[in-house]
Amino acid sequence: MNASRVLIATGTAAASVVLLSGTAFAHVGVQPEGQAAKGGYATVNVKVPNERDNASTVKVEVNFPADHPLASVMPQPVPGWKAEVTRTKLDKPLELHGKQISEVVSKVTWTANGSKIGPNEFQQFPLSLGRLPENTDELVLKAIQTYDNKEVVRWIEEPKGGEEPQNPAPVLKLSAPAGDHGAPAAPASSDAKDGAKAGEKEGHAEAAADSGTDTTARVLGALGILVGIAGVAFGVLAGRRRSA
């Protein structure tokens, strides 16, 4: 009886953990295809799950940070959805990567046009972003999700104190600039080249020594066989003489 109670309690606790985990991770997020390197371009997917059992998602809005503006944001067409890019003119032009920028993308809005994100479903909305800023490690892309029952969920809260908020904003992590990983290797120094040549000579010498040792062993082996044959022949002849 006690064992049965323990099993029931354990199963209930496990089911609760699974349910709570699903709820905790069912939020709007953003994930790059590959890496999103600082100073470069990247393709990212905005993943939007439907959290309601009795309503469908019909609108998604993603806002881009004004403190790290992006000059280029291009949505990939998604069947059944209409994408709209909103650009904002700057009071004072910015210089980004050597170019004067007078307007930046402030948000992208997807509106259902023959499709919806139903219960227990999700949809990905691809974006091409660039050039990415070089003076930050992440971009916070605040999102707003609208359901067909007029409910609006604002995914705009930023993490504080290491704890995830109830409605966390999507965060795009930026990797190190591509040059840090893809820079061509530096030419070898003269010392390195001399060392390589010396190592090559030593390798040839060792190979020659191994070859000489192997040849000597073969010669000695052949001589041993000949000596053995001569000994046998001598023994046979000696035996015949005694018999005579």
Calculate mean pLDDT across residues 149-160.
93
Q: Which residue has the higher pLDDT, 157 or 241?
A: 157
**20: pLDDT strictly greater than 90:** no
> H or E element: which one contains 200?
helix 190-243
Neighbours of 51 (CB within 10 A): 20
**CA distance linking residue 71 with residue 88, whole number of Å:** 10
Say whether the peptide bond before residue 242 is cis (omega within 30 degrees of 0).
Answer: no
> What are the structure tokens assigned to 194, written together?
């001399």
Residue-wise pLDDT tens digits, 60-100 = 999 999 889 898 999 999 999 999 999 999 888 877 667 78
Per DSSP, the residues of 24-93 read HH-S-EEEESS--BTTS-EEEEEEEE---SS--EEEEEEE--SSS--SEEEEPP-TTEEEEEEEEEEEEE
Q: Which residue has the higher pLDDT, 199 or 144?
A: 144
* Model-wide pTM > 0.85: no
Q: At 225, give phi and psi (nearest 5°).
A: -65, -45
Range name among 6-10, 41-45, 50-54, 143-147 with the lowest pLDDT average: 6-10
Tell me, what's the pLDDT at 224? 57
Q: What is the mean pLDDT of the chain?
A: 76
> H or E element: which one contains 179?
helix 178-182
